Amino acid sequence: MAKDNDKRQADATRDGSVTLQDIAAHAGVSRSTVSLVLRESPLVAERTRQKVQASIKALGYVYNRGAAALRGSRTQTLGVVVYDIANPFFGAMVAGIDAVLNRQNYVSFLTNSEDSPARQQRFLERMREHRVDAILLCPAEGTDPRLIATLQEWRLPCIQVLRHVGQPPFDYAGTDFEQGVRQAVDHLVTLGHRRIAFIGGQAEHSATRARWQGYFSAMAGHGLDQTCCLRTGLTRQAGFDAIQALMAESSPPTAVICHNDLMAFGAMLGLKRLGMTPGIDCAVVGTDDVEETALSDPSLTSVATHPYAVGEEAARLALRRIANPDGAREQVILSPRLQVRESCGAHRPAAFSRHAKPLVTQD
């Protein structure tokens, strides 16, 4: 009988038809115990779990999670859709997502929309086919606001991240971008700057609108000209091109705030290409505070938007929504923090004496 079992298991391994009963016979346990191990049930003793897992490996069994999903209600997978996978901000954000999901035995499927609504739609439809339990979505530029209602009709929970479309209430996790730009403007004004430019952002999506609003309102609050807002792409090249155009003006800015850190790195390179020194000839402030900011030359002053924490909060919110699909919608918005480094000239009190006007106070 033992020889027959061994032969049957060997045949199953060769033709890829290993069954739960084969694993049970190999491990010397019941079929139900194998099923519990595959579903990662805490009811199985650790020693038994290890024995079953060793048999699974020895027989080359591959768990068909898709078939299991048809029998159950969850796949323990989440879809994550971002618009620029090359931006290190999203690397940090996805790390935060995975840290939370891993503790709950979930995994994520990451896709890059490249800010294309059509590409984004294709990914969402494919994720629906794979029965993901929820979507973490950073909407592409030009996303139809009706998309959120469509996902609700699909009964697919959606947490919008960083950007949002549609009418509230909706689930959302992000950072207060408007407050972050206000902090940057206020800091530059205390350093004596009056001609402060904002560069970046072409589309009218929520994250760009919030940044512009922060810039316009902060400049107006200080009684400063608000016209120096250059709408461009969000890449290093866009930052490089924008700063060169601004520096060619008859009254160039003495400071620039960039939509993200990638643009700020490009702007600093553009200044160097013009023979100028960031932090001396023109202050540069980025947004996001990615890891490279502290390592650049000069180190980049940046508004920390906490990508890792945003990812954690988005994942936690998704898990809460999966557990309670009909619960009240939530918005988790983190507070930004200005990280002052060399590129704004804060450590060089006299750096902008050629350009900046002194603060005037009245008793």
pLDDT, residue 354, reads 42
**Domains in the chain: boundaries:** 2-63, 77-175+308-334, 177-305+337-355
Fold match, 2-63 / 177-305+337-355:
no
Tokens of 2: 């033992």
CB 128 within 8 A of CB 156: yes
Tokens of 129: 């086919």
pLDDT in tens, the chain (363 residues): 444 545 444 444 444 568 888 899 999 999 889 888 887 777 889 999 999 999 988 888 876 665 555 545 688 999 999 998 888 899 999 999 999 999 999 999 999 999 999 999 999 999 998 889 999 999 998 899 999 999 999 989 999 999 999 888 899 999 999 999 999 999 999 999 999 999 988 767 889 999 999 999 999 999 998 778 888 888 999 999 999 999 999 899 999 999 999 999 999 999 999 999 999 999 999 999 999 999 999 999 999 999 999 999 999 999 999 999 888 999 999 999 999 999 998 776 544 444 444 433 333
Using the 8-state DSSP alphabet, how is residue 160 labeled? Answer: E
Q: Which CATH number fits domain 2-63: 3.90.10.10, 3.30.1380.10, 1.10.260.40, 3.10.200.10?
A: 1.10.260.40
pLDDT, residue 300, reads 96
Q: Are strands 337-339 and 301-304 parallel, antiparallel or unpaired?
A: antiparallel
Tokens of 340: 């002052």
Could you read off the pLDDT of 24-68 as tens digits, one per residue?
A: 999 999 988 988 888 777 788 999 999 999 998 888 887 666 555
Question: For the packed helices 177-190 and 206-221, what is the interaxial angle rounded to 10 degrees?
Answer: 30
The architecture of the domain spanning 177-305+337-355 is 3-Layer(aba) Sandwich (3.40)
Mention the CATH class of domain 77-175+308-334: alpha beta
Give the Cα separation of 222 and 224 in Å (integer).
6
The set of residues, in sequence order, having a beta carbon less than 8 Å from that of 44 and lying 6+ positions away, is 33, 36, 37, 52
**Residues facing 173 on adjacent strands:** 161, 332
CB 175 within 8 A of CB 333: yes
The helix or strand, by DSSP H or E, that contains position 112, with its residue range, turns out to be strand 107-112
Number of helical (H) and strand (E) elements in the chain, helices listed first: 13, 12
Full-model pTM:
0.75
Give the Cα separation of 176 and 199 in Å (integer).
18
In the chain, beta strands by DSSP E: 77-82, 107-112, 134-137, 158-161, 172-175, 196-199, 229-230, 255-258, 283-288, 301-304, 331-334, 337-339
